[in-house]
Amino acid sequence: MTRKSKYTAEYKRGKSKNPIPFPHIVILEKKEVYFKIDSGWPASLTVKPIMREHFPDDFTGIIASVKTWEKLMRELDPNNKID
């Protein structure tokens, strides 16, 4: 079964190399993916298709508040390479 979304497939054809159109942080230990979506609805509706296409089923997609996003950014290890 293909889990591809037509919306992310269209985005891949653009200039960017990252197929996920929002800033995101993956926490492997907790199996969580935090998204920074400033525009709200309807952009927030894309989280579920993005999660289906790019992450295993046991990962959870979370839209981070401004406060949570800032906390996550402070906690990022500057020595880790982010692709």
Torsions phi, psi for 33 (to 5 deg): -125, 120
This prediction has a pTM of 0.68
Say if 5 falls within a structural domain: no
Say if 29 falls within a structural domain: yes
Say if 47 falls within a structural domain: yes
* Residue 83 confidence (pLDDT) above 50: no
Say if 13 falls within a structural domain: no
- Given the structure tokens 């992450």, which residue do they identify? 55
Say if 63 falls within a structural domain: yes
Q: Domain range for residue 57?
A: 21-75
More confident residue, 1 or 38: 38
Number of domains composing the chain: 1
pLDDT band for position 1 (50/70/90)? very low
The 10 Å Cβ neighbour count of residue 38 is 9
Residue-wise pLDDT tens digits, 11-67:
555 555 557 888 899 999 999 999 998 887 887 888 888 898 888 999 999 999 999
Say if 53 falls within a structural domain: yes
